[in-house]
A and B are shown apart, each in its own frame.
Chain A
């Protein structure tokens, strides 16, 4: 059978022969490519090869659709994404179609969540096909590629790696990207070779020079033949033993099986159909490929039980470039080229009605379809000459030069008009050196970097980035309200009273005067929930905080929901309302296998702050009790203590009675910490702070615990069993024993004095002090004693011990006991004189106390005088005893003093004239 390509085939075979020293496979490859083109053109169902982000593909598609007006379009896109396509009307492109699954069935659980995205840009062939099909009555669009579920079924393993991209490049998160018409050499050497010989740096630049520009104005036949030829070249030079190759072949079988199924069920004529796929797939020669009857089918495996959710998320040019490894700026340049080509060719592209960002215009009816003609060989012409490029567009280049200088100045560069002139000249020289009549955007960008970039980048963006912005700029898409999931719509509705445009991609300041406008309270509540759920920058309070027991009259917020649309949309995959998602998150946190009592208490607190749901709070509280009783370490004790105190204070001030879980937490905690106390005292891993917090729990909750049925003996026994060795913990134990009444203050003081007097122990004294400082938590009334101990330490410790310890003391106090410092300072303020002058006469109270035994003597004399009460108490307690004789010296001293200075006593007597004789006699003697 003769083919229009016979002549070309012969010519290529001749060339292969001439290159006698070339590889043996050369004739096969060259002839095979021509055969592939011939084969693809013979297929009765028109195959339309495309390349991603190629304006030439899009232009050819527009022309072909107008000419042919197919009734059915088969498109290489996951078949389960079909319902999303119509939602594109509500969006501003670029956006990405997303399939998302967090509840997995049939995939390894650790790979959750699974996410697939397929970005759609305006200047793409697939968008033109979609817009044509959805806007033209009677045209059916059939997506034929494997479902998103199969994407993961066929994928070898989880490949998500943590990304470190810039925020605008991270719009897609870590989703798996799908593209229609991925056309790029599959092995590095081929790409390197093409780039080297094309004298270009990026693949996008090569493509632009050798394919894009020559094909921009080409007719349908040339376009189709050249694209299949390139697809065939990359296909034949691709490594065949990879998983990717297998997956590609399976996809082709899958797509053609679906096409044949559709043809059979709908009975549509193959001549009225068009199959839009990547050029790589268009050159396929598999047995299962083709629309002819009797072609073997591919056994399609069933989907797993995974529940897939679908939605649209905003995308951007830079996100697409980052995801698919394209040169920075290439998608933007393609978009600009698309717009320019449209103006030049005066073609009207297809657009979805009602789409945001599009010009409103009346649509003209399509002209009647043109009749098809037999394909002729267009390849010979394309292959035999160098690419014909446009001439120099001086006006355009001049505009770029002026604009880049303006942009550079704004970014802090010292650029001037002289630079604009230099860039213009350098661009032309560079293009000339690279053998082009017209500088490409890449030449221009190189020239701008050469002329403006110096040794440092003054601002955030360098010149290359500025060039990208200039040559199209990063365009960020937006998903319209109607295409949002219910949760996101609900968020927008509920924040409507704020009167802000939340779709705007700038930071919006919301001022909530809750006193004047109480109706804004629900908005504030929602914002706090969003603050909890969304990334840090999405909603940020400027004024206002949410803590238990606090109520703000005014709040001020920075809202950046426009730029974090993806985060809000992905929240929508977790639930229908923000409250539901929040509840799930809190439950997940509390029931996490690694959760601790502190985490559960945090969840309780958050549930009180954000969700008024006593049922949930109770469940979380019960979980906290459960977690506390199973904990074997006391690492979290300080956090637990702080949180439970806060929660108890909250309940005491707001509820008539404590909730059941709180009571259980206290009793459980009392028993739990009593049990762990002896171990914690000797365990090196449990720090002083932790033990201090345990004691704090035990002492500060004691009255509540005892009232709920706990036994104090348990604590006493625990303290008796504790035998710490480290000085700080010994100090803590002393404090605990003092609190329990087992170690009176004079004895404690004596012990301290002994420590200071013993030169062998002095170096460890600072640790004792640290222990006492931590003891302020469980035994706050020890504050005067701690001040006393500190003062003694400062006074008596030798400098070699004191000086190295001081910085440690300060850092320890700041890190571990910041909340105790005010207590200490207050106490110190009370103890020490306020003025310098008073310091000279000042005697520390602990020294002064020793010269005042008279108070005790007075009390003793008083009791001895009136022994009846004391005797009765002694009898009741079963400890009878005798009264010792009174100390004459003690009694005499005040009497002497009063006799010497009788005025005070006389005045008191006058004042007490009406008082009873007992008091008077006590006071006077």
Chain B
């Protein structure tokens, strides 16, 4: 078992990346570790038609053209801004891209209201400055500056959460590709090496909080990642993340595929109900995103694992679903109660199978919470 709670993509898929690098004979831009075609293969997985000796699993689910557009943007002169609703996999795509291109996805700046220009450029180790004066040794480079020096990809998460003046510090980095350090007399410019680029992510729900300036917009190519609405893709994502979870926690638990269907179906039903609801009181507070679905499943798996079951059962899943979605009492509970009696009950009578256990588990959970 790895001693990291969550290994970054370049460590997690190190074998695969090494192997891809060894067979890659395509042209590589700048100092990229893989050619664009291999980057795409790494992210979207291989097929039989690719004629490879080993399978490369798909790691990000979504339209192929988004990945292609992202890769070519990084090969061009501009930064990449992934924009989309929460839970659409922007950060995961950014991590995969950095891991595949530069084998380092950890040069990340997290944008918050408290992010300052120092986090983007550099700051000083005060004790060393006092002891030895200002020099390159006493300077603390930001992840972005480190990426510039190494000619690799730097990441900026939630760009629009940081204030406009901080965002604008990126303008000169993206256009001139250097950072000057006026405090130093010599060696006072850090030039970006070829291969440097920035992948930023922005939440489209945050629009209007700290709008990007036109100058910065010009320096980024925007790739909008839509919400997954395709049931098949969603099932793939849930399955993929579940396997990852089981592996990470070293859990040996059987997750019956029929239960995944029950989960997907119930989320689809609840989304449809939320769509048809007239007021906020008639819909669940939860956004019912794919990420939420994974959360429900994760909760159920951990519960089953640590409280003695060998296989995930429908009762536990139902309990976890009710527990995760019932945030407001009585509104959310009332909706779930209605759903359980109006939809799950007829379905369990009609289809039986996992639905019967799901019905029972849900009822108990609702009764406990009420």
Contacts and interface: CB of A to CB of B under 8 A. Distances in A.
Chain A bound to chain B? yes
Interface of A: 196-197, 199, 201, 414, 416, 418-419, 422, 425-426, 429-430, 432-435, 446-447, 449-451, 453-455
Given A422-B221, A426-B69, A450-B73, 18 more contacts: A196-B47, A201-B63, A201-B64, A414-B214, A416-B218, A419-B218, A422-B78, A429-B36, A429-B75, A430-B68, A430-B69, A432-B36, A433-B36, A435-B37, A450-B223, A453-B224, A454-B222, A455-B207
Contact of A433 (B49, B72, B212): B72
B222 A455 contact: yes
Nearest to B29: A429
B207 to A, nearest CB: 7
Nearest to B37: A433
State the majority secondary structure of interface residues on A. helix
Nearest to A449: B69
Nearest to B73: A450
B71 A455 contact: no
A432 B35 CA distance: 11
B65 interface: yes
Indicate the member of A418, A425, A429 with the most B CB atoms within 10 Å: A429
A616 B49 CA distance: 75
Interface string B199-235: 0001010010000101001100111100000000000
Most buried by A among B40, B49, B207, B218: B218
A197 B49 CA distance: 8
Nearest to B68: A433
B76 interface: yes
A283 B264 CA distance: 43
Contacts of B16: none
B179 interface: no
A355 B231 CA distance: 51
A544 B68 CA distance: 58
Contacts of A455: 83, 202, 204, 207, 212, 217, 222, 224
Contacts of A450: 69, 72-73, 221-223
Contacts of B204: 455
A201 B212 contact: no
A634 B266 CA distance: 50
Q: How large is the interface on B (under 10, 10 to 19, 20 to 34, 35 or more residues)?
A: 20 to 34
Contacts of A419: 218
A695 B204 CA distance: 60
Contacts of B331: none
A433 B26 CA distance: 10
Contact of B72 (A196, A416, A429): A429
Interface in B216-261: 217-218, 221-224
Interface of B: 36-37, 40, 47, 49, 63-65, 68-69, 71-73, 75-78, 83, 202, 204, 207, 212, 214, 217-218, 221-224
A451 B68 contact: no
B218 A414 contact: yes
A446 B77 contact: no
Contacts of B78: 422, 451
Contacts of A449: 69
A446 B67 CA distance: 12
Contacts of B221: 422, 426, 450-451
Contacts of B83: 455
B217 A426 contact: no
Contacts of B76: 422, 425-426, 429
Contacts of A429: 36, 72, 75-76
B79 to A, nearest CB: 12
Contact of A418 (B36, B63, B218, B222): B218
A433 B36 CA distance: 6
Contacts of A434: 68
Query: Interface SS of chain B: helix, strand, loop or mixed?
Result: helix
Given A429-B75, A455-B204, A446 B65 contact: yes
Nearest to A442: B65
A105 B73 CA distance: 62
Given A433-B40, A434-B68, A446-B65, A422 B207 contact: no
B51 to A, nearest CB: 13
A442 to B, nearest CB: 9
Nearest to A430: B72
A426 B224 CA distance: 17
Nearest to B219: A418
A513 to B, nearest CB: 50
A449 B73 CA distance: 11
A426 B36 contact: no
Nearest to B218: A414
Given A433-B68, A446-B69, A454 B75 contact: no
A453 B223 CA distance: 8
A419 B83 CA distance: 20
B257 to A, nearest CB: 20
A426 B73 contact: yes
A15 to B, nearest CB: 15
Contact of A453 (B64, B77, B222): B222
Nearest to A434: B68
Instruction: Identify the 8 closest CB pairs spanning chains A and B, nearest first.
Output: A429-B72, A450-B69, A433-B36, A450-B221, A454-B217, A454-B222, A430-B72, A426-B72
B346 to A, nearest CB: 30
Nearest to A429: B72
Contacts of B223: 450
A199 B64 contact: yes
A434 B36 CA distance: 10
Nearest to A201: B65
A435 B221 CA distance: 22
Nearest to A451: B221
A434 B207 CA distance: 33
Contacts of B65: 201, 446
Interface centre among B37, B47, B221 (most CB of A within 10 A): B221
Nearest to B72: A429
A433 B72 CA distance: 8
19 contacts: A197-B49, A199-B64, A414-B218, A419-B218, A422-B221, A426-B72, A426-B76, A432-B36, A433-B40, A433-B68, A433-B71, A433-B72, A434-B68, A446-B65, A447-B69, A449-B69, A450-B72, A450-B73, A453-B222
Which of B72, B73, B76, B222 is most buried by chain A, counting CB atoms within 10 A of its CB?
Answer: B72
A392 to B, nearest CB: 16
A139 B77 CA distance: 60
Contacts of A451: 78, 221
Contacts of B217: 414, 454-455
A386 to B, nearest CB: 13
A701 to B, nearest CB: 47
A197 B68 CA distance: 15
Contacts of A453: 222, 224
A425 B221 CA distance: 13
Contacts of A446: 65, 68-69
Contacts of B207: 455
A425 B78 CA distance: 11
Nearest to B202: A455
Nearest to B26: A432
B218 to A, nearest CB: 7
Residue in A425, A432, A450, A453 with the greatest tally of chain B CB atoms within 10 Å: A450
